Every structure is written in C-alpha cells, then in structure tokens.
Amino acid sequence: MKSTIKTIILSACLAFGASSSAAQELRAPGAAARDNIGETDLRAFAKAYLQSEKIRSEYGPKFNSASSQQEKGAVEQEAVTKFNEAVEHEGLTMQQYTGLYQTVSTDPELRARVLRLVEEERGKS
C-alpha cells in the first residue's frame, strides 16, 4: 500500500528531475554536493518529505481500493499533484527536491541531518 504511492511519487520526482542540470549537480556524491546544500534547503526538503508521508497515508488506501485502472490513474494523478504542490509550497522545485532526495539517500551525514530536521518538524505538529 504505502510502497505503491511512494513509488508513484518517487517516479514523479525522478521524471521531473531527470533533465535538470541543477539536479545533476546535487546528485554527485561526496563533500562537493554536501557543501552546495544549505540548511534552508534541507529544512524545506524535510518539510516536503513529511508532506509526502501524509499524502502516501491518505492516497495509499484510495489507490488500493480503486476498482479500475482508470480510477487508480485518477488517484495517482491527484496524489502526484498534491505532492508537487507540497514541494512548491516549501520553496523547492521538483528538480531540487529530486536532487536533494538522491543526494540525501547516498550521503550518511546529510541523511542524519535531514532525519534530525524531520523529527524537529514532527515535534512542531
């Protein structure tokens, strides 16, 4: 259930971010990529990530209970639209979010910082 919507949202991110030169720069592993990412970007990423969790929990059951491919497609499209809006609300483009996601996924130090920010944001809710 969660993995289906998560896969859909991640696929949307990758599709939007695949051609961006900024995303290409952020994908490069190592200190250079880490140095190009500020605290503001990480905080925006953490907030958008939390919104993606909410979207997955809301749309996962809808997707799984859809009775036709057409209905599943409509649910998927709505979830992706909500996700795009959440990312933009935090001041990021899809390309930036995708690049950050990929960099954070491969950089243990950044991942630890983001997890700390995610927990801080959860505490505010």
Contact 1, 60 (CB under 8 A): yes
Tens of pLDDT, residue by residue over 41-94, are 999 999 999 999 999 999 999 999 999 999 999 999 999 999 999 999 999 999
Contact 69, 77 (CB under 8 A): no
Q: What is the pTM of this model?
A: 0.74
Q: What is the mean pLDDT of residues 36-41?
A: 89
Tens of pLDDT, residue by residue over 3-29, are 555 555 655 544 444 333 333 443 444
Provide the H-helix boundaries in the chain.
2-17, 21-27, 31-35, 39-65, 69-89, 94-106, 108-124
